[in-house]
Chain A
């Protein structure tokens, strides 16, 4: 008994401390970035000014005036929203078919889709650049939306498939008996019942789209360039502009962090594939 009691007492104190510690370690870079964004470039590199500095909005003003922040932000919003919608439009029917009318190959297709995530992106970088340039798609919104959608489709289909699997097949069949067409089943039964799962999936896909950097940086120049490109562009080779870079980064991750904060519950559910109820 004593051992058990001690054990629970220990875990009551130790686990929260550990959790806070880990959280702080994870949070520090973000806090550091936000603080730095309010320093001048000169102050930013001085270690003695880590916590004590005179805050300035110069970097943010500079960013909106000289770097056209809003254009990048608009592109990010357009491409992420469009890609999220397109991904769902493809993934919902696909996962529906796999969950309720599986064929012999369904399991293999699911595994294959996951395996595409194992392909190193760099391997297809040059073909992608040459191809898109030659067909005139390079640096277009359309291309970025397509690329973002294709990258996220496997994970979206997997997530939705797992959620749809939880819906009893009887209910779908009752719907068929009651006169539903296939589209009716999706609209009247599937979407209302899996609403939470679909929302989690959409949120996660949106975040992945917003954060995507590898392709958005390499397949755009100006027209379709997203916030990732803006950050990349400020990683200036001519010198270290930490203040400026931090401001740009803060402004880029800000919206998504706020969104994530408000949707924590859905996110956790999404990332754990609904295992946490």
Chain B
């Protein structure tokens, strides 16, 4: 079980309020991802849930119990840190066994669970090494191992993959998702990478300056972003925004359209411009287009390889039903 409820939680460091009153519910078994730009308070929120920071006001409940004043060790949560935070003086086996030893479990039970976790995480061969003798990916696996043996009510991850190289990151992303499918335990995952958020989450919580901008499934956020901030943050490459007169003509203060929702046509396009940079990936082509009269640069994603390059004129047809309209206050117009 692991249903986590935050009620009017606030956090200030001295005079500066990092989290204004915030309400959030994470259901049991959910994979929730906190995403937002650097410094928006993601880690702070996670640490409040973990108990590593005290709430300035408000309450945190886990499975109905108020844990606001309960120390981290008694909340039944496990955390995986960005820096791995392994105990450097202990072997991998001792690291993974540590929380069980602290819980006073029998040695035979500890051994059984550690072996089980090591098998799941492919760490069998490294159990007698010290963390210093492992690669980054292996260290992260040990940190995850240390978290899963405890069978916690929920897992908390703070940017666990940001110290890994790109290829390894994709692999570990899958492993964590698979782990979630297998354990069906609540997971809260902090990242500033919206791709991680989109690929892993059941529920994405978009934060900006400590305020929740939107909560929803990845596709909800993609299809119906509540405001311009969420629209620009979710999706890669970023959504194009058309402002001013051009937007007025389309019936809004500003209009957003995703690069994949603009079709490249041979001629007589509704819009046209000059290709600035063309990125040919084979499967896709990304065009950065100038002189459209709509925005400084318009990004377009076309399927397959299209042989237009720098300086060429390009014709475009936006899909009218994929346009997002926003009012002067930045909110979505229904």
Contacts and interface: CB of A to CB of B under 8 A. Distances in A.
Interface of A: 168, 170-171, 173-181, 184, 189, 192-193
Contact of B85 (A171, A179, A192, A193): A171
A176 B89 contact: no
Contact of B99 (A168, A179, A192): A179
B87 A176 contact: no
- Residue from A174, A179, A181 with most neighbouring chain B CB atoms (10 Å): A174
Contact of A193 (B51, B52, B81, B89): B89
A170 B103 contact: no
Interface in B110-150: 146, 150
A25 to B, nearest CB: 43
Say which size band chain B's interface belongs to.
20 to 34
Given A179-B103, A181-B73, A170 B81 contact: yes
A176 B88 CA distance: 16
A177 B88 contact: no
B20 interface: no
A158 to B, nearest CB: 24
Contacts of A178: 73, 98-99, 102, 146, 150
Nearest to B50: A177
A179 B73 CA distance: 4
A184 B72 CA distance: 14
A193 B102 contact: no
A179 B150 CA distance: 10
A192 B50 CA distance: 25
Nearest to A182: B71
B198 interface: no
B73 A170 contact: no
B212 interface: no
A168 to B, nearest CB: 6
Interface of B: 50-52, 71-74, 77-79, 81-83, 85-89, 98-99, 102-103, 146, 150
B89 A174 contact: no
B83 A170 contact: yes
Q: Is the interface of A mostly helix, strand, loop or mixed?
A: helix
Contacts of A170: 81-83, 85
A173 B99 contact: no
Contact of B88 (A180, A181, A184, A193): A193
Contacts of A179: 73-74, 99, 102-103
Contacts of A180: 73, 102
B85 A174 contact: yes
Given A168-B83, A170-B81, A170-B83, A177 B73 contact: yes
B73 A192 contact: no
A206 B52 CA distance: 37
Contact of A177 (B77, B83, B89): B77
10 shortest interchain CB distances as A-B pairs: A170-B85, A179-B102, A178-B99, A174-B85, A179-B73, A176-B72, A192-B89, A177-B79, A170-B81, A170-B83
B152 to A, nearest CB: 9
Contacts of B82: 170
20 contacts: A170-B82, A170-B83, A171-B87, A173-B52, A173-B79, A174-B79, A174-B81, A174-B87, A174-B146, A176-B51, A176-B52, A176-B71, A176-B72, A176-B73, A177-B52, A177-B79, A178-B150, A180-B73, A180-B102, A181-B73
A178 B103 CA distance: 8
A173 B78 CA distance: 11
- Residue from A175, A177, A179, A193 with most neighbouring chain B CB atoms (10 Å): A177
B4 to A, nearest CB: 15
A246 to B, nearest CB: 47
A178 B150 CA distance: 9
A177 B146 CA distance: 11
A171 B85 CA distance: 5
Contacts of B87: 171, 174-175, 189
B71 to A, nearest CB: 7
A181 B98 CA distance: 13
- Residue from A171, A178, A179 with most neighbouring chain B CB atoms (10 Å): A178
A178 B85 CA distance: 12
